Amino acid sequence: MIQDWPQDIGGKPSFSYLENMPAFVPIMFELTVFFAAHLMVITFYMRSRLWPFKKAENPDVRSTDDHFVMEISVHDNEESLRALLEETGAVEINISEKHS
């Protein structure tokens, strides 16, 4: 069909890839940027373990309203840590097990 009615569209010949390659340079650049951006977002989700529809790991529901939450890992010093928090003015101290 192209031999019957050769058309020169935009100054690009329709013969082979090597002749058309300069026209594809901007397209390949844009595809590189597109895939780099999308793969960067996917890598961020994988590294931070943030997935769509993942259950939130909020230790206390009131922290989204008007409370402040401080989550501390306890390593055999629970009593001294509790005493330190009480003497510095902690309003409420809850100890819960973290499930991974």
Q: Are residues 49 and 73 in the same domain?
A: no
Do residues 45 and 51 touch, judged by C-beta distance below 8 A? yes
Out of 19, 35, 54, a domain closes at 54
Is the pLDDT at 1 greater than 80? The verdict is: no
Q: Are residues 94 and 77 in the same domain?
A: yes
- Domains held by the chain: number: 2
Q: Are residues 32 and 5 in the same domain?
A: yes
Is the pLDDT at 6 greater than 60? The verdict is: yes
The pTM of this model reads 0.46
Give the pLDDT confidence of 10-59 residue by residue, as tens digits.
666 666 667 777 778 899 999 999 999 999 999 998 898 887 788 877 77
Domain of 62?
A: 56-100
Which amino acid, residue 14? S
Q: Are residues 30 and 10 in the same domain?
A: yes
Q: Are residues 6 and 50 in the same domain?
A: yes
Q: Are residues 60 and 44 in the same domain?
A: no
Q: What are phi and psi of 19, to 5 degrees?
A: -75, -25
- Pairwise CA distance, residues 59 & 95, whole Å: 10
